[in-house]
Amino acid sequence: MGKPQSDFSLIKDVLDEYGDVEGSLITILQKAQEVYGYLPKDVIYHVAERIGSTPAEVMGVATFYSQFRLTPIGKYLIMSCQGTACHVNGSERVSEAVSEYLGIENGETTEDGLFTLENVACLGCCSLAPVIMINGEAHGNLTPDKAIAVLKDIQAKEGC
């Protein structure tokens, strides 16, 4: 038997509201990603059919914009700021330490599904540089060791 299909009823209201509105594909995809955590392939096909587009056109938009994810993310999304203030204060060393500690690269998720690492252009927390944000919570003034300590605290909380 094939992979279970996504529950399209979860985005029915979004498609009812925006499906016939010209230029609303990005909004639809944003809202779908909020619902599913990423954009499953069957959701892309469903959205395309509902808005009268092709799956290739919808996929083109989803792959063009870095905000969209086509694979599931971990329970904890680590966004590592690579903006100018963070960069000059050592964000590359912090990101490398996180990557090495977790055994994943930018855009990847740990095998246990706990963490996803994503390098981002700017988090807007320049006074805290270098900073990572984990599920919306900023952790600033980091060193590689401080970043690892944050991850270890999460792992301890999760019983890992």
Q: What is the pLDDT of residues 114-123, one digit of tens each?
A: 999 999 999 9
Q: How confident is the model at residue 4 (pLDDT cuts 50, 70, 90)?
A: low
Under 8 Å between Cβ of 40 and 29:
no
What is the pTM for the complete model shown?
0.75
Q: How confident is the model at residue 48 (pLDDT cuts 50, 70, 90)?
A: very high
Instruction: Give the count of alpha carbons within 13 A of 35, CB side only.
Output: 19
Pairing assessment for the beta strands 76-81 and 132-134 based on DSSP bridges: antiparallel
Q: What letter does residue 126 receive in the DSSP assignment? A: G
Query: What distance in Å separates the CA atoms of residue 160 and residue 156, rounded to the nearest whole number?
Result: 6
Please say if the pLDDT value at position 67 is more than 90.
no
